Structure 1
Amino acid sequence: MPPPAPVESSAGPWVEMSALGAEGRRDHRNAESREEEQEADVDQVKEEEEQWRRGIQEQQQEIEAHTAITSGAHSDADYGRSTYGRQHRGGDGDEEEEEDGDGEEVLTVDDAIDSIGFGPYQFFLVCYTGLAWLADAMEMILLSFVGPAARCEFRLSAAEESLIASVVFLGVFLGSYVWGLVADSYGRRRGFMATALFTLFAGLLSAWSPTFLTLLVSRCLVGFGIGGASVVFSLCSEFLPSPSRGFWLVFIEFFWTVGSLLEAALAWAVMPSLHWRTLVLLSATPFALLLLLYPLLPESPRFLLVSCSSGTSPVKAAVHIHFNLFQVINI
């Protein structure tokens, strides 16, 4: 008996189509979920990138805030225009002042000094610097009167007598370089105090020199201290307004002539009746007067800007700058 023929179900094709449809829907849902995951990943990447950009912008704003105080070391041949804010060079080489976030112009230190003008405090600085110039002149002219007297006391030859003057200029040569480094590192104010103390000590030491050798050494040290006289000269020039700066810097040179005449008059009064050591001692007294007036001497705002660029707190430097300028205005 032949086997019965297989009975085909009328629902077979529909079942197969349904199975295929379900599988297609699953594939479609899987594809959609993958697309959603990819979109989520893209959104996450964009969000992270946006956060990174915001972080960079915040860092730039902080840097610009510090730069508003610390940038100021744009130096030209004459030490440049130290800025109290940010500056850049234009296409034609002229300096252009930027504006801060509030639309206000950022002034330079030179602009602040020029706006203050020349007043009583600037005149005090000119006289103070002139007193330092006078003291240096007295120490230099002193050699003309001390040499012959020391030659008699120590029984020196003409060559040995001339050596007393030579070692002073050797000290000036060395001191002018060293004190410049000190002033750039620790400030013009502190640098000048160090030079005045050093010169006063060396001058007093030379007045009590028991031998020719100690006299040579002490006078060389005096020259070394005199080499730092330009420190206070630079400090004074940085507080003078540009329209009258040249006149007053030349006026300071007049004190050198006054010091030379004063030393000659002092030698005329002292040498006939007193010892040459008394003249040396009296010639060092102007440095003591400079030290007494030292508390009235301000620090240079330009140095404070440069020093905060090299590590000093910008806030501390800004406080010192404002105090110095306020002191200049209100005295």
Structure 2
Amino acid sequence: MQNSLENNSQAVHLWDYDVILEKIGYGKTQWILLIISGLLTITSVAAQQSMSIIVIASQCEFKSTQAEKGLIMASCVAGLFFSTYIWGYISDYVGRRKVLLCGVFASNILQFVLMFVTNIWMFNLINLLVGISIGGVSAALYAYLSEFNTPKHRAVAINYSTMFVSVTAIYVPVTAWMVLSANWSISIGDFVFRPWRLIMLISLLPGLIGGLILLRFPESPKLLLSQNKINEAIQAVAWICQFNRGKPIQDLLNCDDFMLKSEVNSEENSMDNIPSCILSKIARATVPLFHKPHGFYFIISNLAVFGMFFSSNGMQFWFPEIVNRSSEAFNDSSTVCEILSEYDTKAENSTLACSDHISSKTYIDNIIVGVAFLIGFSIQGTLINPLGRKNVLLVALIIATFSGFCLHFFGNRTAVLVLFCLYILLPGLSISIMLGAIVDLVPTHLRGKAVSFCMSLGRLGIIAATNLMGLTLQPYCNITFAICTFVLFVCVILVYIIPIRRSA
């Protein structure tokens, strides 16, 4: 009897998850998951960026003021700010796949409802809920994607997934241009359905497609192992092998039975107690981020990321409005603020009906910014290793600060577009480098929380910038630009102080 038990125990092979994933090899699972990640990213980012077009196209229907436009642009981001960090903890408890599916389908339903809302405050409320839903996608996506890849491929997969943010910066103005170029309306009683409402449908479609494909995929085996769900993890690994190689996992491993090693789950991340304790758990787990020896530099890094989001994304959200206002009156002698001032004066004195027309230049300039982001990501990747991360950061932020300063004086059409591209692009690209630097600053078990906390604070920067510009751009244009530029200058000083390793 004892010999029989020994033989059975020897027949069961124990495998490390990463080793068995390496043995299965890179295949359809990883490629399709990368596409899903891209589709979910497009919907997540488009829900935010499309508001910069929608505020212009809907301004007559909503009778929105400049301050109210700032609130519309900030409402979705506010939802992300409040929810992403919490969603990250929930995904450790209920599963990454469940959070992703709930987040994307809930946001899809809410965006569809948003198409028919006629009250601006109800629009903002539902848009806030859209942001809260998208927070689940933002919190769980990269973890889910990385856990289906071997360590060798994880960084590359996340990098390509991140590049879909740049694709979205092109997708939003291109699709908006196609939709809003048609002049039509459908009346249903007192409700009038106009083309700008279709933009929200186009924004949700990639996520809907990605979510439907994701239904076929299993939960992350790595997460299942951390929850000690060994049998479910084995089934998930078997699914990956069958999908990639077209044969059972047992044939690949040349054994009838196998087991997977459990993943170590730190106590501070454990959520075995009732979910109502989640807020206290999050608070306790966050406090170590501010302890010595990394606490001081972690705080400075967060302030730098806040400033980068504030200046880059804040200006990017208002860029369509700025270009649209200045497109008709633009000449080669007046600065941006002078043209905006002339526009405001004419608007105040005009007795004509409200206009929600968007010029072709608005779409073209925003497409150029999106293409610049794609090119910038490619160039940045080639510069980091030879120049070092800190040097690349400092040069990018100094050039962006100088570009913001020059916007006060330049009037040439091409020069202004180039300055805006540099002003928006360079701090935006710097964010990804800063996140990598923050990962190096803190211990391994705190890195996930550090990045989530930093991204949440960055979104707070977007909320602050969009509302500030909504209140001050019209009467105090030069002061508004000066504030954003000064924030970037402070970022230069903060980055200079932070000890950043030359390369990752």
TM-score band (shorter)? 0.5 to 0.7
Identity of aligned residues (%): 24
Instruction: Establish whether residue 290 from structure 1 lines up as the match of residue 210 from structure 2.
Output: yes
**What does residue 321 of structure 1 align with?**
233
Deviation of 1:104 after TM superposition, in Å, equals 8.0
Instruction: Establish whether residue 161 from structure 1 lines up as the match of residue 69 from structure 2.
Output: yes
Instruction: Supply the AA of the counterpart residue of 1:232.
Output: L
Q: Show CA shifts across 1:99-133 (max 9, x none).
A: x9649874322222233231121111111111111
Instruction: Establish whether residue 111 from structure 1 lines up as the match of residue 19 from structure 2.
Output: yes
Instruction: Supply the AA of the counterpart residue of 1:325.
Output: V
Q: Show CA shifts across 1:235-285 (max 9, x none).
A: 110010111221121011122222221221110011132521111222212
> Do the aligned residues in 1 keep the contact of 2:221 with 2:236 (CA within 8 Å)?
yes
Measure, in 2, the Cα distance between the counterparts of 1:105 and 1:282: 49
**What does residue 192 of structure 1 align with?**
100
TM-score by length of 2: 0.42
Instruction: Supply the AA of the counterpart residue of 1:236.
Output: L
Measure, in 2, the Cα distance between the counterparts of 1:104 and 1:192: 34
Residue 221 (structure 1) aligned to one of 123, 129, 139: 129
> Do the aligned residues in 2 keep the contact of 1:184 with 1:303 (CA within 8 Å)?
yes
Give 1 or 2 for the bigger CA radius of gyration: 1
Measure, in 1, the Cα distance between the counterparts of 2:155 and 2:212: 28
Q: Show CA shifts across 1:47-85 (max 9, x none).
A: xxxxxxxxxxxxxxxxxxxxxxxxxxxxxxxxxxxxxxx
> Do the aligned residues in 2 keep the contact of 1:122 with 1:328 (CA within 8 Å)?
no
For residues 115-154 of structure 1, what are the structure 2 equivalents within 5 Å? 115-154=23-62
Indicate the larger mover: 286-295 or 241-250. 286-295
Measure, in 1, the Cα distance between the counterparts of 2:212 and 2:10: 45
**What does residue 172 of structure 2 align with?**
263
**What does residue 95 of structure 1 align with?**
none
Measure, in 1, the Cα distance between the counterparts of 2:91 and 2:118: 34
- Runs of 4+, deviation exceeding 3 Å: 100-106
Instruction: Supply the AA of the counterpart residue of 1:140.
Output: Q
**What does residue 142 of structure 2 align with?**
233
For residues 1-331 of structure 1, what are the structure 2 equivalents within 5 Å? 102=10, 106-229=14-137, 230-273=139-182, 274=184, 275-308=195-228, 317-331=229-243
SS of the residue corresponding to residue 215 of structure 2 reads: helix
SS of the residue corresponding to residue 298 of structure 1 reads: coil
Q: Show CA shifts across 1:33-57 (max 9, x none).
A: xxxxxxxxxxxxxxxxxxxxxxxxx
Measure, in 2, the Cα distance between the counterparts of 1:245 and 1:270: 37
Instruction: Supply the AA of the counterpart residue of 1:261.
Output: I
**What does residue 307 of structure 2 align with?**
none
Q: Which runs of 5+ in 1 are unaligned?
A: 1-99, 309-316
TM-score by length of 1: 0.63
Deviation of 1:330 after TM superposition, in Å, equals 2.0
Q: Show CA shifts across 1:135-174 (max 9, x none).
A: 1122122011101122221111101111111111110111
Q: Which runs of 5+ in 2 are unaligned?
A: 1-7, 185-194, 244-504
Measure, in 2, the Cα distance between the counterparts of 1:210 and 1:193: 28
Instruction: Supply the AA of the counterpart residue of 2:28.
Output: P
> Do the aligned residues in 1 keep the contact of 2:36 with 2:214 (CA within 8 Å)?
no
Instruction: Supply the AA of the counterpart residue of 1:160.
Output: E
Instruction: Supply the AA of the counterpart residue of 2:70.
Output: S
Provide the aligned length of Structure 1 versus Structure 2. 224
Q: Give the root-mean-square deviation of aligned CA atoms.
A: 2.0
Deviation of 1:205 after TM superposition, in Å, equals 1.8
